[in-house]
Amino acid sequence: MGIQKRKDLWKIFLVKQPITEILQSSKIRGEILDITRDLNFYCFSADPFGFEKDNTLYVFSEYYDYRSRKGVIECQSFNKELQLLSQKTVLSEDWHLSYPYVFEADNQIYMLPEASRNHKLTLYHAISFPDHWERLCDIDLGGDIAIDATPVFHDGIWWLFYMSGYAKARKKQELHAAYARELTGKWTVYKNNPVTEGRAYSRPGGSAVINKEGKLVLPVQDCVTTYGRAVRSLLFDHLSPDLIQCSVGKAIDIPASLSPYTEGMHTLSAIGDMTLIDAKKTDLSLKGIGLQIIREFRK
């Protein structure tokens, strides 16, 4: 029985500042709003991704319960005045789900959640947005397991960036890339993978954006000292099927105003001209340790 004494507890926040400014300056300067729903004991909300539709802001996130060790995807909707309109679970499977990357292409709305425990990368599309999703296809990466897969359409090509789930690659932490002409079409794994290697910048951490120079920028997690310690920017100086070159930015400072949630940040995503982030604190309580002991004995 392995008891993990300290637990990560995450909350999601809305920052009134464009994601491009944050990635360029590595500073969060805008007004910060706590939009996390009321959490049960030893539960958290993380991995926020936003979508705007019909004057409504939708925030998709992972809701995780340490009792079940399984995440589900929740959605909160807000009006333009940022008043909460609804809150519900919109996707649940028999396996853990997180990192619900929601995006629009070809007049359809898609979700590509993290589901590496199922050893598949499944693309969903909205049958009735935002709460009815149907499996569309599995993305074949030549047997590789994708962790926190992040798609982006750039210069006529679909790109997919992900941390490899291969045991050796995951231990070292490697960022891999694949590309395709069609979102549901045949994906080709980049011939010179890994794109980057190391715990400081090899796991995607949010929505990719295009900067003022027209270059792609991907938020990545810095996990050197602990999981999800910070977010950095990964700037793609050259991006083509034949050659990928990139450079790494500084870790983004976590504002002291988020205290006690200042021990980590691992998602940065755009929602209009604002940005969604998550931040964590850790808990070391006797109640939490007792909860885990009870769960271990019930196995």
- Written in H, E and C, the secondary structure of the chain is CCCCCCEEEEEEEEECCCHHHHHHHCCCCCCEEECCCCCCCCEEEEEEEEEEECCEEEEEEEEEECCCCEEEEEEEEECCCCCEEEEEEEECCCCCCEEEEEEEECCEEEEEEECHHHCCCEEEEEEECCCEEEEEEECCCCCCCEEEEEEEEECCEEEEEEEECCHHHHHHCEEEEEEECCCCCCCEECCCCCCEECCCCCEECECCEECCCCCEEEEEEECCCCCCCEEEEEEEEEECCCCEEEEECCCCCCCHHHCCCCCECCCEEEECCEEEEEEEEEECCHHHHHHHHHHHHCC
- Torsion angle of alpha carbons 231, 232, 234, 235, nearest 10°? 130
pLDDT for position 1: 41
pLDDT for position 167: 84
pLDDT for position 67: 86
Does the structural domain 7-297 have CATH classification 2.115.10.20?
yes
**Assign residue 54 a region: left if phi > 0, alpha if psi is -120 to 50, beta otherwise?**
left
Produce one character per residue of 131-152: b if its CB has 16 or more CB atoms within 10 Å, e if not.
eebeebeebebeebbbbbbbbb
pLDDT for position 139: 97
pLDDT for position 289: 60
pLDDT for position 298: 56
pLDDT for position 296: 55
pLDDT in tens, the chain (299 residues): 445 568 999 999 999 999 999 999 999 999 999 999 888 888 999 999 999 999 999 999 999 998 888 999 999 999 999 999 999 999 999 999 999 999 999 999 999 999 999 999 999 999 999 999 999 999 999 999 999 999 999 999 999 999 999 888 888 999 999 999 999 989 999 999 999 999 999 999 999 999 999 999 999 999 999 999 999 999 999 999 999 999 999 999 999 999 999 999 999 999 999 999 999 999 886 565 666 655 555 55
